[in-house]
């Protein structure tokens, strides 16, 4: 986390109320890495609640005929994600809210994997479609106090994606094909939302 990031966070939290910070960007831009760094810089005060926990299960994607587009906007439970954000904004002092998490090693979401405690001051949610203005996705941004757009050079980002896909079982050729044919159309859609972010962070690597 840079000094500028730290200053922005402290300003956001200055009134003592819970805040929801969104990190948005194309696949491979470094959202998850930044989210973890922010959480680690604020021990006991911050929790990451990723959008990826709302991936539809693989069986449901197969049923819908969308398995070959996994990661596109219509392969998530966007309305469920919105409902969680509302719960987190309205969380009672005696309530623990449980959020789902996406596990890459099994390529499936796992319910109830993240416990959000009522005293947690900053909730960091990261994902691709926080600023999308269609369907249930349009309800996300109004529930967030700030949204930061995270970007990195495209060549770096695509290579990260290829390596990630290889790490979880694809051949180099299959990983590159998925990155180009599936991830990149989503990346262009996400890039079109960049102008709606409160802040743009360019990461060198």
Which CATH number characterizes residue 137's domain?
3.40.50.300
Going by pLDDT thresholds of 50, 70 and 90, the confidence category of residue 103 is: very high
116 Cβ contact list (under 8 Å, min separation 6):
47, 49, 88, 91, 96, 97, 98, 99, 123
Residue where the block lists tokens 């802040």: 199
C-alpha to C-alpha distance for 20 and 9, rounded to whole angstroms: 11
Secondary structure class of 41 (helix, strand, coil)? helix
Give the pLDDT score at 82: 98
Nearest to 194 by CA among 118, 122, 103, 130: 130
DSSP single-letter state for residue 14: T
C-alpha to C-alpha distance for 67 and 108, rounded to whole angstroms: 12
Kindly report the number of other CB atoms within 10 A of residue 150's CB atom.
22
> How, if at all, do strands 97-103 and 108-116 pair?
antiparallel
Give the pLDDT score at 76: 97
Under 8 Å between Cβ of 78 and 54? yes
Please determine, for residue 181, whether its predicted confidence score (pLDDT) is greater than 90.
Answer: no
Number of separate domains in the chain: 1
Please determine, for residue 168, whether its predicted confidence score (pLDDT) is greater than 70.
Answer: no
Going by pLDDT thresholds of 50, 70 and 90, the confidence category of residue 176 is: confident
Q: Kindly state whether residue 204 falls inside one of the protein's structural domains.
A: no
Query: Which has more pLDDT, 162 or 30?
Result: 30
C-alpha to C-alpha distance for 151 and 136, rounded to whole angstroms: 24
Under 8 Å between Cβ of 124 and 46? yes
Give percent of the chain above pLDDT 90.
71
Residue where the block lists tokens 């290829």: 162
Q: Kindly state whether residue 16 falls inside one of the protein's structural domains.
A: yes
- What would the mean pLDDT of 10-15 be, rounded to a whole number? 94
Q: Kindly state whether residue 165 falls inside one of the protein's structural domains.
A: yes
Residue 91 belongs to domain spanning: 3-198
Give the pLDDT score at 4: 86
Give percent of the chain above pLDDT 70.
99
Q: Poorest-confidence range of 78-87, 136-145, 183-192?
A: 183-192
The first and second tokens of residue 71, run together, are 């990661």
The first and second tokens of residue 37, run together, are 């760094």
Q: pLDDT per residue over 140-167, tens digit each?
A: 999 999 999 999 988 888 787 778 778 7
Burial 96-126, CB ≥16 within 10 A → b, else e: ebebbebeeeeeebeeeebebeeebbbbbbb
Give the pLDDT score at 205: 59
Give the pLDDT score at 185: 85
Query: Which has more pLDDT, 168 or 194?
Result: 194
């Amino acid at each position: 986390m840079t000094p500028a990031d730290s200053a922005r966070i402290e300003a956001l939290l200055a009134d003592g109320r819970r805040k929801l910070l969104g990190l948005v960007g194309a696949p491979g831009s470094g959202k998850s890495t930044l989210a973890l760094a922010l959480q680690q810089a604020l021990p006991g005060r911050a929790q990451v609640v990723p959008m990826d926990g709302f991936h539809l299960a693989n069986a449901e994607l197969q049923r819908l005929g969308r398995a070959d587009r996994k990661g596109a906007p219509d392969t998530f439970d966007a309305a469920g994600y919105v409902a969680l954000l509302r719960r987190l904004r309205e969380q009672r002092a005696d309530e623990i809210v449980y959020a789902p998490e996406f596990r890459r090693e099994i390529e499936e979401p796992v319910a109830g994997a993240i416990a959000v405690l009522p005293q947690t001051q900053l909730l960091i949610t990261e994902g691709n479609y926080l600023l999308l203005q269609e369907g249930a996705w349009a309800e996300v941004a109004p529930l967030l106090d700030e949204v930061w757009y995270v970007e990195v050079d495209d060549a770096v980002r695509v290579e990260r994606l290829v390596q990630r896909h290889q790490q979880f079982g694809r051949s180099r050729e299959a990983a590159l094909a998925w990155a180009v044919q599936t991830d990149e159309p989503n990346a262009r859609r996400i890039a079109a939302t960049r102008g709606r972010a409160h802040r743009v962070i360019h990461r060198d690597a």
